[in-house]
Structure 1
Amino acid sequence: MPFDIHIIGGGLAGSEAAWQLAEAGLKVRLSEMRGGGDTTPAHETDRFAEMVCSNSFRSDDAENNAVGLLHQEMRALGSLIMRSADQHRVPAGSALAVDRDAFALEVTRAIAGHTNITVIRERVDALPGYPTIIATGPLTGSKLAEAIAAETGQGALAFFDAIAPIIHRDSVDMDICWMAARWDKGGKDYINCPLDKEQYGAFVQALRDGEKTEFKDWEKDTPYFEGCMPIEVMAERGVETLRFGPMKGVGLDNPRTGRWPYAVVQLRQDNALGTLWNMVGFQTKLKHGEQVRIFRTIPGLENAEFARLGGIHRNSFINSPRLLDEQLRLNSKPNIRFAGQITGCEGYVESAAVGLIAARFATAELRGETLPPLPTETAIGALLNHITGGADEESFQPMNVNFGLMPPLPERFRKADRKKAYTDRARERFAAWQAGQRAVEPV
């Protein structure tokens, strides 16, 4: 066999896994169907690690935020995804957002240029019988999904994921909008479109009344993922829901009034040139014509030009706590590991993190070694534990990394100090784990 391990899928998880394995000196075959005559309902290019929903890796605060802590751990483990994100970040306050085109090009060049990686543009429809990592993501091809279902006897779970619109910067009315980050944290990184009470009420009603995408019969029982809820679905939950969610005006001083707006729509920079801006939290299943009509009622967006309108697609994931062991191997076919969103993690960085640790497990196994899982007090360890056994098999749902996945703190802390206590403990456990790995690495 001309390679040591096969990776199926060139998204964030597959790209990270390929990089980790190749950097460890292993020969990798990376199969990606995009560019080989196939595509998905959400992707627009054949680049590796294409970001289709948002350009944000969320908070980069490693002191008080679980996802920021996850960033830090991945950087310490030589993550290609984090390295590329850091190289192509755009202003986003305390968040890590990237120029998504430059980011994907960076990852693609790194993967294609690595001497230990052979890229094959092909669709894989069956489960291989040799060492493999399946990182096909939530849009796994139908034939491979059928093969997984046949092997496991469990079928696939599914949920809907939605995409937010992107607006051309020069079409935003800055006589109405202003630049600021919440509480001035991180600089003036967001465009803020203010709504008063009357405007907000009319907007919520328009979302409720707007014409939505209709689902096929087989999709109607599929739930939404709470972390990527369509804006109109949130509006249906109550008139105040959006005002305490993505349209929260708290902490944003409107320089024209000196007060917080009743509600606000925020736009976040989506490319390095600053010409494209993403509507934060505005994932939607509204029909395209309705999106244009309704979103142009937002003050400052009356003449908005859309580079991309929102959309919705069906995502699939396996029941990982039931089907995978603690090293992400398929119980019934242990030559196969799963990584990324197909395992039931949610989020770009979480997907890449699972790809990273799957590759490290595979590297150790191929060398005849055993890699201990990261402690559950760490961000990667907590996420891995959720996927492989920490969650209830009967009610397993996709999950972003969060402090609730970690063991409780051994002592009580003031609310203001609790998050810092979690991250301090996590860094201590991670450092000890990493030092232990260095101690057993072959010379």
Structure 2
Amino acid sequence: MTPGILIAAPRSGSGKTMVTLGLLRAFTRAGLKVQPFKSGPDYIDPGFQQAASRRPSHNLDSWAMPRPQIARIAAQADDADLIIAEGVMGLFDGAPCRGESGNGSSADIAAALGWPVMLVMDVSGQSQSAAAIAQGFRSLRPGISMAGAILNRVASDRHEQLIRQAMAEAGIAVFGAIPRCGELTLPERHLGLVQASEQGELDPMIDRMADIIASHVDLPAVRAVAASLPDGSHGEEIAFPPPGQRIAIAQDEAFSFTYAHLLAQWRRAGAEILPFSPLADEAPAADADIVWLPGGYPELHAGRLAGAGRFLSALRHHARNRPVHGECGGYMVLGQALLDAKGEAHRMAGLLGLVTSFAQRRLHLGYRQARLAAPMGGFPEETVLNGHEFHYSTIIDQPDSPLAAVTDAQGRPVASTGSFRGHVTGSFFHLIAPASERNA
């Protein structure tokens, strides 16, 4: 199997995204084929990783995915020279309960695939104490191999030397020390980073990250410690039927939240993906079996979507006798109206009775398991699916029948059931994988 390394951190905000992107681009510029992965449910970081490596990034999630599927997705790197995976939050952070093969933490992925952990540490405001933190991370969980650390936001040469000496005494390798550099922060908004496709100067920015990494990190040493499990198994293909033979999928800045592993599985099953842009007022393919509206940022483009007459008319026509499904942002567009952050109402497709508002913001976040009360795409009634929810919108009205019985990671019911009417289904639930029989 291709050797890999997992870039993790003690907490969010430590700089692991910048380090990951810099490593991906630096190794790619050196002529290596570098395969990126992202631990946990995340749509935005993989877009940056693809831009940095010129290869599609895939998500790996131990809460939602069974172990064979994780191995199968990791096998996407078989033709690569090196794997660079980015963790989520802190190394051991995950859901309060276990899912398919873990609690969703980055540590689960490192253990499952044999990837050593490179700990990115924000050392601002401390010196020798950083070694104690690294030592604790190294020893907390058996089965995790800690390659060492990359120090970030180092204040001076003296600061670096104090930390390096303490790390050496603790037996922890230091692979690099990155000075404070405020110019390479990526812009954010309410769901995380602003999407890669919206960054006007993305490529030069990633090149600057790679320059910094190449100057301050021992790249040959990083590559040398990459490893993987000796087992060469590619895992099993999980039964995951496509929702149709010809799938029209909305893809633009308003509808960008699609998981690469889902599209890859649907294509392997013989499905054809037919992208179209609602923001450009494009109609979905007239001969599509299903129209799929992913999540994204429709609230930022509500006026344009409300005025996209060709798109809305074709969507309504399709829904007369063929399925239409919306996830999160796509679900909101299928409703009657969407209220933007200023409280202005924008008429949507009207295929469901849903009315949502961003004027009354409330965070909905976490893993979800859904048991379908009606067919959804290629899944029959009673199918159990694993996924997650992440949005700030508030439901004002939801008069249609519930699509699913939904629970959180601890098995507690949640109110976000989704809804259906005729051939139209929608939910705030983002699909990751079908649940295995033992977890259904």
Instruction: With the length of structure 2 as denominator, give the TM-score of the two structures.
Output: 0.27
Q: Using CA pairs below 8 Å that are at least 6 residues apart, which structure has the higher relative contact order?
A: 1
- Select the structure that is richer in helix: 1
- The structure that is strand-richer by fraction is 2
